[in-house]
Amino acid sequence: MKKPRPPVVTVLGHVDHGKTTLLDYIRKSSVAKKEAGGITQTIGASVIKTDGKEITFIDTPGHAAFSQMRARGARLADLVVLVVAADDGVKPQTIEALKYMMEVNSPFVVAFTKVDLPSADVEKAKGELEKLGVLFEGRGGNTPFVAVSAKAGTGVGDLLETIVLMAQVIGISGDLDANLEAFVIETQRGKSGVLVSVIVKNGKVKVADTVYCGTLAAKVRGLFDFQGKSIKESFPGYPCQILGFSALAGVGSKISDQPSFVVEQKIAVDEYGGGGLPVVLKASNSGSLEAVSASIPEGVNIVAKSVGNVTQSDVFLAKNSNANIYAFESKANSDVKRLSETEGVKIFEFKIIYELFDALTKIIEEGVEKILGKAQVLASFPYEKRKVAGCKMIEGMINRSSKLKLVRGEDSVGSVKPISLKKGKSDVNEVRQGEEFGIIFEPQLEFKSGDVLLSVQ
């Protein structure tokens, strides 16, 4: 039998528009102050009470790299609070959030934040949203809005009241007697094993139950509420952590009390093969690992990635792959650090995702070879015991001290150095665009017509 349950609400909006500060005020906690760089970097769920009614909030990350996690939050939610700073208006992630909500037809309320600032202009922000198709109450539509100040608490009570009323109108309910239906919002490895954070939508989960994620079975050894307190069971509308899985359950996956033999579509995790800067990637949880992987700078080759702290195995893998280790909210203990020094592997630890990206981008930019000249091989001529490459300069310049690369198609044949450079029968020090010339280089790599010589710096 279905009964009303707490609505599951996700808070979406642009970075620094006050999502976590708003939740911070609602929860009377200090989450916003604890977040590295002031940006929420993992999905958190919490339950609050207002006038005797409970609401489950999912806080979603703000950085652009976390778009997949925000989209997942929108799909898990019964309704959405779209946060828009009154002093800043519509921004890229505001538009992104609207796209998610429209895709899943999610009901939402707009919270205009930072209304205490002198530069706040709610009407202007409202107009920007209307241009994107949002129809507000009193202006031809049914989308409610509330002006709030998370610092002063202004309008927060009105926002909570609006959420409760929307939940009642929508008729949000759960069936306690139905089969378990819960959805994974986060997975991570703890000291006691794998912890899977879920939102229960129907049924219930109890300690000692056997639950399934697809065909992956787990006997529930422990249950914890959103505050980390041990509980015996969890009901529809509430978040909890399940201890008992032997492997990391996929974020966004369904947890049930029946095994599922349907193979879910998965995003390929090894899509960064080929060349580029080799890195071993570590993260504290699967959501963050997914986010970092999805937004990794171009030119990076992820040779391996996994959840948890940096291990000795990671160091040996990096050593064999000629890679360094980049750890996001993941650490290496003293033994692992000593081993990395011995093996010549560098470990870089980051708490802020964009600092990790900046570091990788800087290394890539510093390591990129600048092309000073390009010549195409037209023919091969024997000369004493050597071969002369007859070439034409396509662009730039090549001189006798140039560092050259012989390239065939997409592949590099090898690096060479000029030992003779001639135009006709005359020795020259350099050749420029449009000129034909003969070159002898060392080592005497095999070349053929159509190959390209690149002068690089």
User: Which residue's entry shows tokens 């020259």?
Assistant: 428
User: Which CATH code fits 277-367?
Assistant: 3.40.50.10050
Reported as a single tens digit per residue, the pLDDT across 6-23 is 999 988 888 788 888 888
Mean pLDDT of the chain: 83
Reported as a single tens digit per residue, the pLDDT across 134-181 is 999 988 889 999 999 988 889 999 999 999 999 999 999 999 999 999
The secondary structure of residue 10, as a DSSP letter, is E
* Rounded-to-integer distance, Cα 202 and Cα 199, Å: 9
Q: What is the pLDDT of residue 264?
A: 34
DSSP 3-state of 301: strand
For residue 6, say if its preceding peptide bond is cis, omega within 30 degrees of 0: no
Reported as a single tens digit per residue, the pLDDT across 188-233 is 777 788 888 899 999 999 999 999 887 678 899 999 988 888 999 9
The pLDDT of residue 32 is above 60 = no
Pick the CATH number of 371-456 from 2.40.30.10, 2.40.50.100, 3.40.50.2000, 2.60.120.10: 2.40.30.10
Pick the CATH number of 176-256 from 3.30.479.30, 3.20.190.10, 2.160.10.10, 2.40.30.10: 2.40.30.10
Q: What is the pLDDT of residue 290?
A: 82
Strands 239-243 and 222-224: antiparallel
* Rounded-to-integer distance, Cα 350 and Cα 360, Å: 12
Once rounded to an integer, what is the mean pLDDT over residues 335-360? 86
Q: What is the pLDDT of residue 366?
A: 63
Q: What percent of the chain has pLDDT over 90?
A: 40
The CATH 3.40.50.10050 portion of the chain extends over: 277-367
The CATH 3.40.50.300 portion of the chain extends over: 2-172
For 2-172, give the CATH class. alpha beta
Q: What is the pLDDT of residue 68?
A: 56
Spell out the residues 6+ positions from residue 423 whose beta carbon is closer than 8 angstroms to its own. 431, 435, 436, 437, 438
Q: What is the pLDDT of residue 275?
A: 52
Confidence at 35, pLDDT banded by 50, 70, 90: low
Q: What is the pLDDT of residue 40?
A: 40
Once rounded to an integer, what is the mean pLDDT over residues 399-428? 87
* Rounded-to-integer distance, Cα 101 and Cα 13, Å: 12
Q: What is the pLDDT of residue 63?
A: 46
Reported as a single tens digit per residue, the pLDDT across 278-313 is 899 999 888 888 888 887 887 788 888 888 899 887
* Rounded-to-integer distance, Cα 286 and Cα 249, Å: 9
Q: What is the pLDDT of residue 260?
A: 58
Angle at 354 between CA 350 and CA 355, to 5 degrees: 45
DSSP letters spanning 205-219: EETT-EEEETTEEEE
The CATH 2.40.30.10 portion of the chain extends over: 176-256, 371-456
pLDDT winner (highest mean) among 12-26, 68-82, 379-393: 379-393
| Amino acid, single-letter form, for residue 123 | E
